[in-house]
């Protein structure tokens, strides 16, 4: 039996989130609202930190170099403003917090890449199953009744 806290947390969690690790290069699609307009902004960079992976407060910190300046953004993975997280490259690292990457630039900032199945990692089976079930439900309610 789940505790009351776990039940409340489960209510705010997304059905499935990509398994992001430190050392991954990711594209984070974030919803931006400017007045009445809404758009999707993509932030691509290296994941230098992951926090609280199991809970609804799971967070990643992504770093990139923009115009010669290091920029870091933290994203709550279960936030409704984070539309999608796509892993583009996976690297071999032995730490969770890659603070040493802040001091590195150029070729020194490269990490050794490892082989991984990009489609399998980025696929969310639970979300696809839910979408398929919704499509079947719509198809069954829209049966043609011609007489």
Predicted pLDDT of residue 24: 92
What token pair was written down for 114? 């490892």
Q: How far apart are CA 144 and CA 54, in angstroms?
A: 45
Predicted pLDDT of residue 120: 85
What token pair was written down for 120? 């399998």
Predicted pLDDT of residue 22: 92
Residues 12 and 58 sit within 8 Å (Cβ to Cβ): no
pLDDT in tens, 74-130: 999 888 899 989 999 999 999 899 999 999 888 898 898 988 888 888 887 655 555
How would you classify residue 77: left for phi > 0, otherwise alpha for psi between -120 and 50, otherwise beta?
Answer: alpha
Residue bearing tokens 């398929």: 132
Which residue segments constitute the domains of the chain, with CATH numbers given? 17-123 (2.30.30.790)
Statement: residue 63 has pLDDT above 90: yes
Predicted pLDDT of residue 56: 80
Range 127-133, long-range pairs (CB < 8 A, 24+ positions): 127/15, 127/16, 130/15
Q: How far apart are CA 38 and CA 28, in angstroms?
A: 16
pLDDT in tens, 37-62: 999 999 999 999 999 887 788 899 99
What residues contact 84, with CB distance under 8 A and at least 6 apart? 27, 28, 29
Range 38-41, long-range pairs (CB < 8 A, 24+ positions): 40/83
């Amino acid at each position: 039996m789940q505790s009351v806290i776990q039940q409340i947390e489960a209510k705010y969690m997304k059905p499935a989130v990509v398994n992001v690790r430190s050392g991954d290069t990711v594209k984070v699609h974030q919803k931006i609202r400017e007045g009445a307009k809404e758009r999707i902004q993509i932030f691509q960079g290296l994941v230098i930190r992951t926090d609280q992976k199991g809970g609804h407060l799971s967070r990643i910190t992504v770093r990139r170099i923009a115009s010669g300046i290091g920029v870091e953004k933290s994203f709550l993975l279960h936030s409704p403003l984070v539309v999608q997280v796509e892993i583009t490259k996976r690297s071999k690292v032995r730490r969770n917090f890659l603070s040493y990457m802040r001091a590195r630039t150029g070729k020194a900032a490269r990490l050794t890449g490892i082989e991984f199945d990009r489609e399998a990692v980025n696929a969310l089976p639970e979300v696809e199953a839910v979408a398929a079930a919704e499509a079947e439900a719509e198809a069954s309610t829209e049966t043609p009744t011609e007489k």
